[in-house]
Chain A
Amino acid sequence: MQKSREEIHQARPISPHLSIYKPQISSVLSIGHRLSGIGLFFMLSALGWWFILWVFSKFDPVYLKVFDSFFVKFLLILTSYGFFYHLCTGIRHLIWDTGCGFSIKAINYSGWVAVIASILLTIIFWLSV
């Protein structure tokens, strides 16, 4: 039986199949860079508006109560990790922009350096405050 044009289109392979694709340090960090960037945009907006409202209320202490909640504290720690992660992988992207570090070995190495550095930076930051 002859296939319709639509069936042929659907049967054609689409690449990449992310759900069956083996996760690799390069692809996972790339997705993480985007996800952390999106998350940081929303946190920047939230914290920015918190600051604006707090200042225009002449430093009303009511606004400080938000930070008593466990969820908000968790969110702040997550945001700090997202920030350090985005910073480390971002510096990696800036190095790539100069045309350096594109061998598989260098990409894997810089990837793990970025992951470990971002975790260490987060831990050191919260231990020092």
Chain B
Amino acid sequence: MKGKYRSDLSKARNLGAASSGSHHWWHQRLTAIIISLMILWVISFFGEILKSNVTMAISHLKKPFNLTMLLVLFLTVMYHAVLGMQVVIEDYMSCRTYRLVLILAIQIFAIITAASFALATFYVMVL
């Protein structure tokens, strides 16, 4: 009913070429909340690692709960960081070509880093 009396122009307005855009903003907030909720674990985990010697630190790291949390933390923070870097680049880089190249480079770098990090956490378990 709602769209029946609207002109084609009014339907197209605010959608933009990609018909989307606000999900970046929303994902930035969602990841921020997830990281904030993990803060107690982050402080206790890294505090424990810094307090102990290498053997103790590795056995602390090898606990399945800690490894899972570390992986979730890294992936969430990396996604949050990529979204943040994209906003900074879009705000301060006026050349559209450099802007696109830089954002794509950061995204590709983040995907490779995240995948390698995930593989490393799996490898910790079998070491």
A and B associate = yes
- Min CB gap B125→A, angstroms: 10
Contact B36 A91 (CB under 8 A): yes
CB neighbours (8 Å) of B120 from chain A are 51-52, 55-56
Contact A61 B54 (CB under 8 A): yes
The contact string, 1 if C-beta is below 8 Å from chain A, for chain B 93-127, is 00000000000000001000100110111011001
The contact string, 1 if C-beta is below 8 Å from chain A, for chain B 26-64, is 000100110110010001000100110010001000000
The reply on B78 being an interface residue by CB < 8 A is yes
| Chain A, residue nearest B47 (CB) | A129
- Min CB gap B85→A, angstroms: 5
Contact B85 A125 (CB under 8 A): no
Query: What CA separation (Å) do A97 and B36 show in the bound complex?
Result: 15
- Min CB gap B121→A, angstroms: 8
Query: What CA separation (Å) do A38 and B88 show in the bound complex?
Result: 8
The reply on A70 being an interface residue by CB < 8 A is no
The segment out of A5-13, A14-22, A42-50, A101-109 that lies at the interface is A42-50
- Min CB gap B98→A, angstroms: 17
Query: What CA separation (Å) do A37 and B35 show in the bound complex?
Result: 14
By secondary structure, the A interface counts as: helix
Contact B127 A44 (CB under 8 A): no
The reply on A3 being an interface residue by CB < 8 A is no
Query: What CA separation (Å) do A61 and B43 show in the bound complex?
Result: 24
Closest 7 A/B residue pairs (Cβ): A55-B120, A129-B50, A41-B81, A52-B120, A52-B116, A37-B84, A129-B51
14 A-B contact pairs sorted by A residue (CB < 8 Å)? A41-B84, A45-B109, A48-B74, A48-B117, A49-B113, A52-B113, A52-B116, A52-B119, A55-B127, A64-B54, A90-B32, A91-B36, A94-B32, A125-B47
Chain B positions near chain A (C-beta within 8 angstroms): 29, 32-33, 35-36, 39, 43, 47, 50-51, 54, 58, 74, 77-78, 81, 84-85, 88, 109, 113, 116-117, 119-121, 123-124, 127
